[in-house]
């Protein structure tokens, strides 16, 4: 009988639970927290409270949707970090309680490894394409931007990282400046479709590290463009929204692809994946697919439901760890920063 894993994700503002049998996803329930929209960003204290309200019904629904009772679960995988400490605490404490009460092994998962391993989840009615090892993954989320060399499900090397803001942050912060709702990424994606990507030019970074990124200069350049233009015409943003979004998005994509292409060349790797919330961006998805066609890569673009935070990716990471006997101690506590758990 295949291993059955319950995955629990609570690192930021989505409470999610999923059940996986082998690598096949039986259920994946996500409760997103609308409470943050009116503040234009995630408020950690409110996120923790919403996780507390959501976690029992979300886990319950995931088990029911999968038609699996708790006594059939072989291991409980949970996000240990990185993320908001209060949010992580809710998921970790709940996972521990459930594990102790039902005598089920507990498996800690690194959220970022989860995003990458979402490429190995299959659906009940079809297998999804899986990259071959070693492959390169451009991991682009709200908090992280990295190029990762993935040697196996459990062995990953970060070969490049952002030295300041993440790509998702660049989307969200620039959206906020334009008065767009949070999270800004999907809104910019939608508006960019109507705009001219060459209408505005924003600063591109020169970063020392060969595969490292920087997005804070772009954010400043965007801010100055808006500030100067609004002095001349108070309706500037309103009139140019689509062009601003298209130009910003295409600059972010150019920055991301430039280093990714360099990394594939230097390492001679042709299986290239993208993962994380920003991999939902339609422009980025097209650009990576196009770069792949031109350069003979096999590209792996995740289904939209596996791009933003979800517990299916935590369950698949837990699956690989559990198979290797990597069981966590019941005294385990969450870790907010990535460096502490790699
Ligand atoms: O991976 P994720 O759900 O959470 C973190 O682990 O951070 O990523 C969230 C980020 C946010 O910054 C959000 O604006 C961005 O992903 N995002 C997008 C799109 N959908 C989500 N950015 C650009 N285009 C999108 N379609
Ligand atoms: Zn994430």
For the segment 103-147, what is each residue's pLDDT rounded down to a tens digit? 999 999 999 999 999 999 999 999 999 999 999 999 999 999 999
Hey, whose CA ends up nearest to atom 2 of ligand 1?
277
Asked if 272 and 147 count as a contact pair (C-beta separation under 8 A), the reply is: no
pTM of structure: 0.96
How far is it, in rounded angstroms, from Cα 334 to Cα 11? 10
For residue 62, give the 3-state DSSP assignment. Answer: helix
Hey, whose CA ends up nearest to atom 11 of ligand 1?
142
Atom number of ligand 1 nearest to Cα 11: 6
How far is it, in rounded angstroms, from Cα 166 to Cα 138? 12
Atom number of ligand 1 nearest to Cα 280: 26
Residues framing ligand 1 (Cβ under 6 A): 12, 141-143, 168, 171-172, 183-186, 189, 276-278, 280-281, 308-309
86 CA → ligand 1 middle, Å: 20
Tokens of 131: 């990259």
Tokens of 220: 């400043």
Give the residue from 272, 258, 276 showing the smallest Cα distance to 111. Answer: 276
What is the four-CA torsion angle of 273, 276, 282, 288, rounded to 10 degrees? -20
Domains of the chain and any CATH numbers: 4-127+306-323 (3.30.420.40), 135-302 (3.30.420.40)
Asked if 184 and 175 count as a contact pair (C-beta separation under 8 A), the reply is: yes
**Predicted confidence (pLDDT) per residue in 242-287, tens digit:** 999 999 999 999 999 999 999 999 999 999 999 999 999 999 999 9
């Amino acid at each position: 009988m295949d291993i059955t894993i319950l995955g629990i994700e609570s690192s930021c503002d989505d409470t999610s639970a999923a059940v996986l049998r082998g690598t096949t996803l039986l259920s994946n329930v996500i409760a997103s927290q609308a409470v943050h929209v009116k503040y234009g960003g995630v408020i950690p204290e409110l996120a923790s409270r919403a996780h507390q309200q959501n976690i029992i019904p979300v886990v319950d629904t995931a088990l029911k949707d999968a038609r699996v009772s708790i006594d059939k679960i072989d291991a409980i995988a949970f996000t240990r970090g990185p993320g908001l400490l209060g949010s992580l605490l809710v998921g970790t404490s709940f996972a521990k309680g459930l594990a102790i009460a039902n005598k089920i092994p507990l498996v800690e998962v690194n959220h970022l490894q989860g995003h990458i391993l979402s490429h190995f989840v299959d659906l009940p009615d079809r297998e999804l394409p899986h990259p071959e090892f070693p492959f390169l993954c451009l991991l682009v989320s709200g908090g992280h931007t990295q190029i990762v060399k993935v040697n196996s499900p459990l062995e990953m090397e970060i070969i490049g990282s952002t030295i300041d803001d993440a790509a998702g942050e660049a989307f969200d912060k620039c959206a906020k400046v334009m008065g767009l709702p949070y999270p800004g990424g999907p809104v910019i994606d939608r508006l960019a479709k109507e705009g001219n990507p060459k209408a505005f030019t924003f600063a591109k970074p020169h970063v020392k590290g060969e595969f490292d990124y920087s997005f804070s200069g772009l954010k400043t350049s965007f801010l100055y463009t808006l500030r100067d233009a609004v002095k001349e015409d108070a309706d500037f943003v309103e009139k140019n929204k689509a062009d601003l979004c298209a130009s910003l998005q295409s600059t972010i994509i150019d920055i991301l692809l430039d280093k990714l292409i360099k990394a594939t060349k230097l390492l001679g790797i042709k299986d290239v994946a993208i993962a994380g919330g920003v991999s939902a961006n339609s422009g980025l998805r097209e650009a990576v697919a196009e770069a792949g066609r031109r350069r003979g890569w096999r590209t792996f673009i995740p289904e939209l439901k596996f791009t933003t935070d979800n517990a299916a990716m935590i369950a698949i990471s837990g699956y690989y760890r559990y198979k290797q006997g990597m069981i966590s101690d019941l005294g385990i506590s969450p870790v907010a920063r990535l460096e502490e758990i790699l």
